[in-house]
Amino acid sequence: MSKIKIGISMGDMNGIGLEVILKTLERKEILNLCTPIIYSSSKVVAYHKNLVGFDDLQFQSIRGAEKPFIGRINVVNCWQEMANITLGDATAEGGKYAFESLKRAVQDLKKGLIDAIVTAPINKQAMQLSGFPYPGHTEFLSDELGDGKSLMLLVSEQMRMGLVTNHLPIEQVAKSISKELVMHKIILLNEALKMDFGLERPTIAVLGLNPHASDGGVLGTEEEAIIRPAVVECKKNGIMCVGPFAADGFFGNRQYQKFDGILAMYHDQGLIPFKTISFGEGVNFTAGLRGIRTSPDHGTAFDIAGKNEADPGSFRQALYLAIDISRNRAMFQEISHSKKDKREQPSEPSEEG
């Protein structure tokens, strides 16, 4: 089996993205597991390499991902001009080059030149200044690789947390949730747990929207009108899901330890307990796409950009997860094809006596 090729978008060059990328790739065992391909420019990568003091770290500049150097760190030059790096600032130029890096990585993923992408953090203000028309990575990738449909799934050793809504103002959350949307996210989570995490019969907990899961309708109607019917219908279709749970008690009583996956209704309902429990090792995985994408669960950290203080732990775990999911998905597809071939084989004719 050929070595897995992992594309890496650099994120915002004014943040900590390239610092955590280089600190991760500096580990020798990484090159035994995969062939890393950074989408950036050799000048920008060299600038950040000098900032972290990795004088002995070598990388290979390449024009494209068609023929990367195995056993080396590869850098695809996505542009030739000098980029103006202003560490710690949200700038249109920072957003522009972050988007160039991301677009090129996604193009190569679509072409099958790489097996997965790991995206370093972007800054939403910088991306908007550059004309990027999406709230974040997830929405862009959903359009490019998922027909507008995907699931934001946070992953750590402690839990796997999916979200029904992603980057929405809190006032828009309740009116955005429907039975069909909750069902769709449950189905995506169930499929991801099977295909990408190798779980044959995954169990899923679905959280309520309102305090105490509405206390029987006293504190809201969404649980009984939307969420519970979605859970019931998914159970009828063979998905092992339960809910809605009151979020505070669910985490306070550590019920999350009993389930393979959890579905939260909105961003902070899921991310606050996830980040609290995952100790900085969490990873963001976009499930439901035609390609594999992971990212660290932190931002650009402009306040420490260029200070060599960034912890690469989450990015390292994102890289490892991309490798694991690539293997799991390939194995799942192989098993699925094998089962299909067996079903399609004609049965042996019975012998007549």
Lowest mean pLDDT among 101-115, 292-306, 324-338: 324-338
Dump the DSSP string for 168-219: --HHHHHHH--HHHHHHHHHHHHHHHHHTT--SS-EEEEE-SSGGGGGTTTT
Angle, CA of 157, 109 and 333, to the nearest 5° = 65
Residue 104 has pLDDT above 70, yes or no: yes
The DSSP H or E segment spanning 155 is strand 151-155
Fold exhibited by the domain 151-288? Isopropylmalate Dehydrogenase (3.40.718)
Strand, coil or helix: what is 68?
Answer: coil
Residue 350 has pLDDT above 70, yes or no: no
Strand, coil or helix: what is 164?
Answer: coil
Which pLDDT score is estimated for 333? 79
Predicted TM-score (pTM) of the model is: 0.89
Q: What is the CATH number of domain 1-149+290-343?
A: 3.40.718.10
Q: In which residue ranges of the chain is CATH 3.40.718.10 found? A: 1-149+290-343, 151-288
The single residue listed with the structure tokens 């490019």 is 144
Considering only CA atoms, which of 72, 66, 67, 76 is closest in space to residue 44? 76
Per DSSP (E only), the strands in 33-121 are: 34-40, 59-62, 73-77, 116-119
Lowest mean pLDDT among 9-23, 28-42, 132-146: 132-146
